[in-house]
């Protein structure tokens, strides 16, 4: 599998094993299948696993623990996250340390390579609902707490979830110190789906460009936009759910996949891998069949310039940001 530098951090596989599927967030699976899928992902050359406590209420992290029994294969790196939310500044460091300790226990490991802020960032406290982190709180308490964890050797590096709103994310990436890595929307529709929390137009490509300029590693997420960029949605969602809306918008993309002799998901992953600035793309797979399809897409590599041009010409008017 292709290896790329994650910003200024370390080389990682171009595909990352995400925790949403094995945490049972993206349709039905079970623990045994999730464990088998994770092991096969690593055997196939994936070197970064991205999980979070919120994926199945810790289930994805437990799958990591069961899959490897606390002894990670050489070269494998782990990323997990924490929802800081909108708590008192004096509480931030302690909540982060407790969350990290619980994650390490579930995964049966002493250390994570990357610890990410999972809660969305918002401009100020007026917009800081319990699950969102105001920019002043991030600067005053969360960022210094991340830095201390690195200094203490408890984590390798830290980063953010950078889906929305673009204005705040641009500020955070331009700040010093900047996060070492950021999870950013990277799909053909420029669609954040249910990760859009503001009224600002999504601007994922602008954010990726800024991250590259600042040396921030870009972890592409939502390559298949929660199933919208697949042949069919594998779970029931309401007609007004973002995944259903995006699935309906993606009809032209499914037609192109058929024209190219590809599944929609495979073409979606290859498109995301071809986006300039994206270092690795997170897979949202939940079983070995989905994993194998994604691995095959990765092995085929980025799309040719001609294919990219054709897709961009046809899909441009359908993109969220346009």
The predicted pLDDT at position 234 comes to 76
* Mean pLDDT calculated for residue range 243-251: 93
The predicted pLDDT at position 197 comes to 85
Q: Which of 17, 1, 20 is nearest to 225 (CA)?
A: 20
Task: Write the pLDDT tens digit of every residue in 184-194.
Answer: 999 999 999 98
The predicted pLDDT at position 127 comes to 55
* Mean pLDDT calculated for residue range 149-159: 97
The pTM for the full model equals 0.94
234 versus 156: the higher-pLDDT residue is 156
Sole residue written with tokens 């050489």: 74
Contacts of 302 (CB under 8 A, 6+ apart): 270, 273, 274
User: Residue 321 pLDDT > 70, yes or no?
Assistant: no
Handedness of CA 160, 165, 166, 168 (dihedral sign): negative
User: Residue 322 pLDDT > 90, yes or no?
Assistant: no
Task: Write the pLDDT tens digit of every residue in 93-113.
Answer: 999 999 999 999 999 999 999
Q: Which domains does the chain have, with CATH numbers?
A: 3-316 (3.20.20.100)
Q: What's the whole-number average pLDDT of the chain?
A: 93
User: Residue 126 pLDDT > 90, yes or no?
Assistant: no
What percent of the chain is modeled with pLDDT above 90?
A: 81
Task: Write the pLDDT tens digit of every residue in 277-299.
Answer: 999 999 989 999 999 999 999 89
- Strand partners for 320: none
Task: Write the pLDDT tens digit of every residue in 49-67.
Answer: 999 999 989 999 999 999 9
The predicted pLDDT at position 125 comes to 67
């Amino acid at each position: 599998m292709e290896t790329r530098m994650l910003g200024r951090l370390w080389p990682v596989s171009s595909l990352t094993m995400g925790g949403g599927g094995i945490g049972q967030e993206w349709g039905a699976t079970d623990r045994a299948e999730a464990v088998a899928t994770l092991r096969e992902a690593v055997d196939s050359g994936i070197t970064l696993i991205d999980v979070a406590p919120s994926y199945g209420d810790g289930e994805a992290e437990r799958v990591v623990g069961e899959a490897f029994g606390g002894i990670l294969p050489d070269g494998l790196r782990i990323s997990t996250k924490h929802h800081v939310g909108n708590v008192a500044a004096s509480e931030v460091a302690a909540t982060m340390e407790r969350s990290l300790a619980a994650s390490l226990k579930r995964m049966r490991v002493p250390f994570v390579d990357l610890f990410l802020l999972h809660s969305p960032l918002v401009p100020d406290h007026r917009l800081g609902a319990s699950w969102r982190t105001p920019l002043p709180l991030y600067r005053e308490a969360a960022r210094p707490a991340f830095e201390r964890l690195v200094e203490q050797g408890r984590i390798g590096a830290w980063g953010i979830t950078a889906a929305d709103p673009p204005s705040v994310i641009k500020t955070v990436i331009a700040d010093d110190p900047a996060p070492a890595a950021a999870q950013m929307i990277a799909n053909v529709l420029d669609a954040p789906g249910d990760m859009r929390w503001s009224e600002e137009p999504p601007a994922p490509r602008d954010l990726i460009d800024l991250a590259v300029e600042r040396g921030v590693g870009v972890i592409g997420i939502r390559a298949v936009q929660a199933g919208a960029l697949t042949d069919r949605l594998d779970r029931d969602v309401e007609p007004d759910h973002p995944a259903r809306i995006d699935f309906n918008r993606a009809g032209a993309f499914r037609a192109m996949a058929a024209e190219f002799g590809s599944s929609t998901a495979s073409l979606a992953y290859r498109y995301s891998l071809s986006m300039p600035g994206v270092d690795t793309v997170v897979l949202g797979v939940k079983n070995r069949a989905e994993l194998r399809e994604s691995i095959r897409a990765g092995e085929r590599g980025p799309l040719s310039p001609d294919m990219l041009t054709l897709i961009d010409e046809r899909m441009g008017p359908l993109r969220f940001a346009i």
